[in-house]
Structure 1
Amino acid sequence: MTSNSLTSALRETLALFEQSGTPLTTTEIADCLELGRRSTYDRLDRLVNHGRLETKKVGANARVWWRPTEPQTEDEGFNAWPTTVESLVDDVLSRVDVGVFVLDEDFEVAWASEAVERYFGIDRSQLVGREKPELVESTVAPVIDNAERFTERVLATYEQETGTERFECRVTSGDGREERWLEHRSGPIESGPYAGGRVEVYYDVTYRKRRERKLRENRAQYETIVDTVEDGIYAVNEEMEFVVVNDGFCELTGYDREELLGSHVSMVHDNDKIMPRVESKLQTVIDTDRESARIELDIRTKSGEKVPCESRFALFPLEGSYGRCGVVRDVSDRLEREQKLQRRIRQQKSITKLGRQALEVRDIDTLLTEATRQVANTLGNDYCKILDLDADADELLLRQGVGWHDGIVGSATVSAVADDSQAAHTLRTDQPVVVSDLETETRFSGPDLLREHDVRSGISTIVGPSDDPWGILGTHDTAAKSFSTHDVNFVQSVANILASAIARHADERELVRQRERLAALNSLNEVVRETTDVVINQSTREEIEETVCEFLAKSDSYSFAWVGDVDTTSKRVNVRTKAGTKGYLDDIVISVDPNDERSNGPTGRAFKTGEIQTTQNIDQDPSHDPWREHIEAHEFRSSAAIPIIHEDAIYGVLNVYSKRLNAFEGEERAVVEQLGEIIGHAIAATERKRALMSDDVIEIAFQIPDVFEALNAESNQNGRISFDHMMPIEDERYLLYGSATGDAIDNVRSIVEQLPYWESVSFHDEGKKTDFEAQLSNPPVLSVVASAGGSIKQAVIEDGDYNITVHVAPTADIRQITKTIEETYPMAQLLKHRQVTRRDNTTNRIQRVLRNQLTERQRTALEAAYHAGFFQWPRETTGEGVAESLGVSPPTFHQHLRKAEQKVFDHLLSPVLPTQPPSPRTE
């Protein structure tokens, strides 16, 4: 073997280099050979000594290697072929693992190497003398993958007598041969015994091909991993242009891969600021033999957004030069976590400091000021405020704060009830209210105070318990921002500290106020209980009103009370009943005329609005100015005007006065308001009872000519419509039962279409006379008659004219009923207005008894079932249908109906009817 002969290990290493001279690093060769760097270096150094490789040092400790371009032509080796086969066998061919065919000038096999047998599975002794073209087609080609292509290329060298021909082929396994890759080389023999022939050489390149395949697989795997990694991976050349980017880098920057490749790195970061730092880091890597460096920078995305990132990078050889590759990771979350941690630490320190100050500071306003300053500074917000709730005025005073315009703190107020107020919403919410952007907020629009200060975001929370708040702590910023749970908890913690401090400083005052309030509530509850018991057993309205006023005046919590109603002619309030007034009402004039200033007091407002009106501090309420002299003489401080209401009817107003400030707020107000409802219900029940028990009634009869024209409703002016029975169900809704002749059914439908309070109608057994059931909502005439305890004696529309007759008690407000009918039907003509005596027959007496025995729900169920045809045979409706009309479930309807039937049968079938009706019952 000559000095340049290579071992198999060196040949294996040399096979990794291509003829093109592409340099490889020691690390790359070591990875391919799966050897250590030192062993790889030794092999490479020996190949340099053999003249097969060249090398160059790069950087401080790195080196690259490449295969030099061979100066000789590829034909040169074949042209130098020895002149005798014996010398070839002796000197070279028998000693190397190469398949060789020597062909004479007739292209017959003159000699074949031993390797031919192993490569192709051919007996070498049978090859000599055979024509090579025939041998290729019959014997060699069949064991080659893509035999047709192989045959075509080999035979072409014979036919065209070309020079050196070089290509690769794959031998398939089978019949004792192994799968392998061979590199075919052939060339003409120009001298010697076989001149005119050819030499075909097959080199086994299986190892190289497998290494190449492995390299390709590794590269594909590497590229897959690179593209799969969420972090951004990049590589740039010496000109700082991107040559490689993965999907993660594209996603991070917002650019497509095509946009990045070939572009300068300044596309994604500030080159002037970043590159000096990068070069400094790289020099440190070279000087210290470190593998990589790290730097933090802002990546500029395609949209212009800056993303904080960390980049780890290193040098790598790139086509005879060096580039830079690295991994970029978005560290926004990490930085945010670090900032949140620092923020939590600041918040905890602030809470600790404020808690200590809450124990030491005696002036509550000093503590509030310090709290607003610490909250604003800790959260980095522009504003912070403490709102002090004034429940009487439904507003909150900006008591202390930081950041607000001059003159705002101590004077500005915000509504505690307005829909657009964040403060009002906070008071209605158990949890802190967080606003990220007021411009997109849907729960409220924001009061003027916030908008005048360009507020966009903030947190507000109640100071004190949510059911009895002292005020609100709020912090705001002019920028839209998100607040973390820790931020919200911090604000809530400060609010809790303030609530504890405020409660501690006000304990004594609060205890006194609570004692007074408790005494008033106990007294009022006792009055309500006793009043409720008494009014139920009284027989007249006057007795009920007198009882209420006397009980209230005798209590320790109130000074006096009186009940008034309105004279519709003078529009002034008449005193019906009074107790404990001591002459206060002697010269008092109260009006309900909107043009009279004496209608602006609590009593006038209660009549006009139908809602309770309270004055918590009469001395500061200008609506009491018309009676100021009388007020000062009687020394009361607060008052309540409670409407006595049942359904839509206002019977009057109960006025109660107290020497206490803020006497009618919170629970006390609710109880007093309930008292008005109790009295109203009792009076209504009494009026109905009197109307039913009395033999004397007022009969009012009206005729409305051409009622359909008055209603702007279409009508054929024919037929008869009778409204037979009306009954209330719930929520100011009524059921009306009637009948219509066949030619009047369309007229009923026209009424439903025209009148908004006629909600629906259903018909039964259409024919000559058809029954119908209508659902009405707050019908004006029927409602006022029902609220007065009256009844519709007759209501008929015949040939277009509407005749209606009403029976009410002599004490009922006849004027109001007449006024309502005339307003509803301007063409109405009063036909009768007289007092009549009802016949005292058995049916009427039984009806009276049953009305007193049946509860309202039982009576409603019985009447609805009767008029709906439930008791007809066959039934005109089902229990489910009646229940649906009443708006109750079928089981509930049947339960009330069975109880009503039981009571009816008890009275009908008992031997003797009771001579005195029992007291009314409620359910």
Structure 2
Amino acid sequence: MRGGAEQQIRALKYSPFHYPLTTEDDRITISLLYVDDEEDLRDLTQIYFTELCTDITCTTAASGAEALELVAKHPFDAVVSDYQMPEMDGIDLLKRIRTAGLEIPFIIFTGRGREEVVIEAINNGADFYLQKGGAVRPQYAELVNMIRKAVGQRQDAGALRQKEEQLRLIIDTMPLCISYLDREGRCLCVNRRFAENFGITEEECIGRRIEEVLPPETASTIKQSMKAALQGESDFQERSEEYGEGEVRHFREGCIPQRNGHGEVIAFLSLSVDITHLKRAEAFAVNRARRQAALAELGQNALTDIDRQALMDSAVAITAEVLEVDFCKVLEPLPSGDRLLLCAGTGWRAGIVGQTTVGASTDSQAGYTLLTNEAVIVEDLRTETRFTGPSLLREHEVTSGISVIIGSVDAPCGVLGAHSCRRRRFSREDVDYLQAVANILGAVMKGPAAMGP
């Protein structure tokens, strides 16, 4: 029967009414798998594509099982299958291919034209359904068109999906919290950083209003930006938010409106960027300049005939301002050696300075500083285990503090301390500044305190 198929194709090919189904504009080659249990139809189809469609290479299979083996070995661009075949029909083959996760374009090409078969084929992922019968040329021309259309659609969908994945990768890795909102403030899409930052999944955001998923202050800022955007304004605002104890983060937030062809706002792109590192860099530069100026002022005072007590008073006042702490103090050892006198300070209750003493051992932070001969940093006095917090600090509700030795390690002449009521993490730069102030004081302070408590 193969000879009969070849005669049909030759008659069609050399007919005066024949025109080629492949043109010079065709730039892709389609790898096709044709599945049919009838040998004559397999031969006819293969010869047809070989002779008339040079952009389609056709491989045939006599059964669904053989087709599955071929699909597992070769990356076909499309599958055309008969419906009624023994052991495994075309719908079963389609299901097996889709269950395997393969999105190969699939066309049912069969003599069975029942409506329920068409519906079942489409419901199971078939791209097209074509009924056999009638003149060869129009029928195969329609099949070729379906193959090319199905392959083109899948390639377009694949290219679109790839672009979406690329765009998603870019959006998810940007150092921004991004949300796409409708006019009512419902989340249509958010990026990964947005979800992670607010402790929710992307799926939990979709369809919900921003006030349902964001902290009140953040939601209010976005609402204000949306209102400004509706009025044609570009409104990006900065806000600060406290995370945990002592950590403040800074953000710059705003909305960009999306408009339709009539200029109407239909949605918003909400952006939030963490600018904490920029704020910290700015603050660091400002603080460094302030500290350098403060040290220059104290150094200049030390070189003049300024009174010793006046220098200490100036040092604690300037240090409290520069380090932004609630309390600052200078402690000197008494002649007995077992107590330290608060001889200068700022922030303390009236009558404390010049009268109060603390222990010179592990019963105070200052005493522990002298014992260790190094700077001591306390993040939370309530959980401190290295020494006992003296009543002076507890009564003033001190939480965090830093202290350094005044003078040399071999011959210390006091302790300089700075303390805060709120929990705070002192930096290496804070230690260096405090030690620089202590060094200036050490050049002036000589010997033990002359006065008693």
Report the TM-score range of the alignment, normalised by the length of the smaller protein: 0.5 to 0.7
Q: 2:194 is matched with which residue? A: 249
State the alpha-carbon separation in 1 of the partners of residues 268 and 130 from structure 2: 41
Q: Give a deviation string over 1:247-272, Cα, whole Å, max 9, x none.
A: 32222112233332222122325344
Shift of 1:487: 1.0
Deviation at 1:183, TM superposition (A): 6.0
Aligned to 1:244, the other structure's residue is in SS state: strand
Amino acid at match of 2:214: V
The 5-angstrom pairing of residues 398-413 of structure 1 reads: 398-413=342-357
The separation in 2 between residues aligned to 1:118 and 1:239, in whole angstroms, is 61
Opposite residue 384 of structure 1, the aligned amino acid is: C
Does residue 385 of structure 1 match 2:385? no
Per-residue CA deviation, residues 146-181 of structure 1 (Å, 9 max, x unaligned), is 4546674322554679999997xxxxxxxxxxxxx9
2:252 to 297, 301, 310: 310
Contact 2:326 2:347 in 1 (8 A): yes
Please provide the CA RMSD for this pair: 4.5
Q: CA deviation at 1:231?
A: 4.0
Equivalent of 1:425, from 368, 383, 386? Answer: 368
Q: Evaluate the alpha carbon distance shift between residue 394 and residue 278 of structure 1 in structure 2; reply closer, same or farther with a 3 A threshold.
A: same
Residue 445 of structure 1 is matched in structure 2 by 388
Give the distance between the partners of 1:248 and 1:426, measured in 2 at CA. Answer: 44
Amino acid at match of 1:455: V
Are 1:166 and 1:186, in contact at CA under 8 Å, matched by a contact in 2?
Answer: no
Query: Does the 8 A contact of 2:226 with 2:268 survive in 1?
Result: no
Q: Which residue of 2 aligns with 1:470?
A: 413
Q: In structure 2, what is the equivalent of residue 258 of structure 1?
A: 203
Aligned counterpart in structure 2 of residue 492 of structure 1, from 435, 439, 444: 435
1:324 to 254, 259, 268: 268
Aligned length: 362
Whole-angstrom CA distance in 2 between matches of 1:251 and 1:312: 19
SS of 1:340's partner is helix
**What is the TM-score with the length of structure 1 in the denominator?**
0.34
Q: Which residue of structure 1 aligns with residue 214 of structure 2?
A: 268
CA shift at 1:215, angstroms?
1.0
**1:351 — aligned with what?**
295
Deviation string, structure 1 residues 536-567 (Cα, Å, up to 9, x no partner): xxxxxxxxxxxxxxxxxxxxxxxxxxxxxxxx
1:444 CA drift (Å): 0.7
Tell me: CA distance 1:166–1:315, structure 2 relative to 1, closer, same or farther (3 Å). farther
**What is the CA–CA distance in structure 2 between the aligned matches of 1:185 and 1:317, rounded to whole Å?**
43
Q: In structure 1, how many angstroms separate the alpha carbons of the residues matched to 2:204 and 2:48?
A: 51
Out of 129, 135, 142, the position equivalent to 1:201 is: 142
Which whole-Å CA distance do the structure 2 matches of 1:410 and 1:161 have between them?
A: 100
What is the alpha-carbon distance in structure 1 between the residues aligned to residue 273 and residue 20 of structure 2? Answer: 57
Q: Work out whether residues 436 and 480 of structure 1, in 8 Å CA contact, stay in contact via their aligned partners in 2.
A: yes
Partner of 2:424: 481
Paired residues of 2:332 and 2:343 also in contact (CA < 8 A)? yes
Whole-angstrom distance in 2 between the partners of 1:464 and 1:423: 14
Question: 1:385 aligns to what SS in structure 2?
Answer: strand
Q: Could you list the per-position Cα deviations for residues 588-608 of structure 1 after superposition, in whole angstroms to 9, with x for gaps in the alignment?
A: xxxxxxxxxxxxxxxxxxxxx
Give the letter aligned to residue 179 of structure 2: Y
Q: Structure 1 residue 464: deviation in Å?
A: 1.0
Structure 1 residues 280 and 306: alpha-carbon distance in aligned structure 2, compared to 1, 3 A threshold: farther
Following the alignment from structure 2 to structure 1, what is the Cα–Cα distance between the partners of residues 171 and 288?
Answer: 38
Distance 1:96 1:301, change over 3 A: farther
* Unaligned residue ranges in structure 1 (runs of 5+): 1-84, 99-115, 125-134, 168-180, 287-292, 511-619, 621-923
Deviation digits for residues 869-915 of structure 1, max 9, x if unmatched? xxxxxxxxxxxxxxxxxxxxxxxxxxxxxxxxxxxxxxxxxxxxxxx
Distance 1:360 1:263 in 2: 68
Task: State the secondary structure of the residue aligned to 1:263.
Answer: coil
Q: How does 1:222-241 map to 2 (within 5 A)?
A: 222-229=167-174, 231-241=176-186
Structure 2 unaligned regions, length at least 5: 1-11, 24-44, 54-59, 71-75, 85-89, 91-107
Higher relative contact order (CA 8 A, sep 6+): 2
2:313 aligned partner: 369
What is residue 340 of structure 1 aligned with on the other side?
284
Q: 1:309 to 1:119 in 2, by over 3 A?
A: farther
Does the CA contact (< 8 Å) of 1:268 and 1:299 recur in 2?
Answer: no
> Offset at 1:187?
9.9
Structure 1: distance between partners of 2:428 and 2:237: 32
Instruction: Provide Cα deviations, 1:491-515, integer angstroms capped at 9, x if missing partner.
Output: 1111111111235xx8xxx9xxxxx
Structure 1 contact 185–200 (Cα < 8 Å) conserved: no
Contact 1:186/1:199 (<8 A) preserved = no
8 A Cα contact 2:188 2:207, kept in partner: yes
Shift of 1:327: 4.6
Equivalent-residue separation in structure 2 for 1:232 and 1:213 (angstroms)? 28
Assess if the C-alpha contact under 8 Å between 1:117 and 1:123 holds in 2: no
Q: 1:199 to 1:480 in 2, by over 3 A?
A: closer
Partners of 2:109 and 2:188 lie apart in 1 by: 41
Distance 2:341 2:280 in 1: 37
String of CA shifts for 1:738-772, please: whole Å, max 9, x gaps: xxxxxxxxxxxxxxxxxxxxxxxxxxxxxxxxxxx
Q: Is the 8 A contact 1:385 1:401 kept in 2?
A: yes
**In 2, distance between residues paired with 1:371 and 1:306?**
28
Counterpart amino acid of residue 121 in structure 1: T
One-letter amino acid of the counterpart of residue 416, structure 2: L
Residues 302 and 233 of structure 1, relative CA distance in 2, 3 Å threshold: farther
Structure 1 residues 491, 453: closer, same or farther in 2, change over 3 A?
same
3-state DSSP of counterpart to 1:428: helix
Q: Is the 8 A contact 2:222 2:270 kept in 1?
A: no
CA distance in 1, matches of 2:117, 2:199: 56
Counterparts of 1:489 and 1:338, CA distance in 2 = 19
Q: Which amino acid letter does the alignment assign opposite residue 194 of structure 2?
A: F
Percent pairwise identity: 29
Q: Say if 2:222 is the partner of 1:277.
A: no
- Secondary structure of the equivalent of 1:414? strand
Q: CA deviation at 1:119?
A: 7.4
For residues 348 and 303 of structure 2, what CA distance do their matches in structure 1 show?
A: 27
Tell me the equivalent position of 1:154: 109
Structure 2 counterpart of 1:342, which letter?
V
Give the TM-score, by structure 2 length.
Answer: 0.66
The answer on whether the counterparts of 1:164 and 1:185 sit within 8 Å (CA) in structure 2 is no
CA contact 2:110–2:132 (8 Å) conserved in 1: no
Q: In structure 2, do the counterparts of structure 1 residues 341 and 118 end up closer, same or farther at CA, with 3 Å as the change threshold? A: farther
- What is the SS of the residue equivalent to 1:472? strand
* Counterpart secondary structure, 1:397: strand
Larger radius of gyration: 1
Task: Report deviation, 1:300.
Answer: 9.2
Give 1:484 deviation, angstroms: 0.9
Matching residue's letter, 1:218:
K
Deviation at 1:372? 1.0
Once the two structures are superposed, residues 455-484 of structure 1 have per-residue CA deviations (whole angstroms, 9 ceiling, x without a partner) of: 111111111112211111112121221111
Following superposition, the deviation at residue 330 of structure 1 comes to 2.5
- Cα offset, 1:334, TM superposition: 2.8
- Return the alpha-carbon distance in structure 1 between the equivalents of residues 162 and 169 of structure 2: 10
CA offset at residue 489 of structure 1? 1.0
Name the SS for the 1:336 alignment partner.
Answer: helix
Q: Secondary structure at the match of 1:201?
A: helix
